[in-house]
Homo-oligomer: A and B are copies of this chain.
């Protein structure tokens, strides 16, 4: 869905008011039947013999993804990666507003990154609740990740994007999505090695 929304914003889409599963297939790399099934799964957006109305589809997908509104986000761990994530324009564009940032290091506390002041991690759960943060990004070292997650959950956060290399335990009603950069690059290494690259 996220990918469909991305390609719908492409200039190729601006010209005509309607697009087709065939064209979406080319732009996304998914098969055309796959596109139709994905879109049909959330409602009957297409018109037979015509295609999908670009504008309507965009706003429908935004609504499905829940990005027809703003979300309050906090970043925990303002290291290299945390810094980059706080400045990442893609989040703000999609309605994800970084309203708070936390770090354990006194050297980081007090700095302003991307217009947000870095606070001590000690007040995490309290401050998260005060600010009404709904979504958190964890970019702390693996050892600290579980403790940070527990504090976030205590503060009422129900969705977490985790960059720490560690399996995290959380209650059923908390959604966690983990991105492991080492896994990604090791997959490439595996593919290269399998192809006999030396």
A58 interface contact, C-beta 8 A = no
- Among the 9-residue stretches A33-41, A102-110, A147-155, A178-186, the one with 4 or more Cβ atoms under 8 Å from chain B is A178-186
Residues of chain B within 8 A (CB-CB) of A188 are: 135, 159-161, 175, 177
The A interface is mostly helix, strand or loop, or mixed, namely: helix
A7 interface contact, C-beta 8 A = yes
Known contacts A90-B181, A159-B191, A165-B90; is-contact A197 B134 (Cβ 8 Å): yes
Known contacts A81-B88, A135-B188, A173-B195; is-contact A183 B2 (Cβ 8 Å): yes
What interface size band does chain A fall in? 35 or more
- The count of identical subunits is 2
- Among the 9-residue stretches A14-22, A46-54, A61-69, the one with 4 or more Cβ atoms under 8 Å from chain B is A61-69
Instruction: Pick from A137, A159, A186, A195 the residue with the most CB of B within 10 Å.
Output: A186
With the chains together, A167 CA to B24 CA distance in Å? 11
Contact partner of A192 (CB less than 8 A), chosen from B85, B137, B175, B179, is B175
Residues of chain B within 8 A (CB-CB) of A2 are: 180, 182-183, 186-187
Show 17 A/B contacts (Cβ-Cβ < 8 Å), sorted by A: A2-B182, A28-B167, A64-B190, A64-B193, A66-B192, A67-B189, A80-B87, A84-B84, A94-B182, A94-B185, A94-B186, A135-B185, A135-B188, A135-B189, A159-B197, A175-B191, A177-B185
Which residues of A come within 8 Å of B, CB atoms? Answer: 1-3, 5-7, 27-29, 64-67, 71, 73, 80-81, 83-85, 87-88, 90-91, 94-96, 134-135, 137, 158-161, 165, 167, 173, 175, 177, 179-195, 197
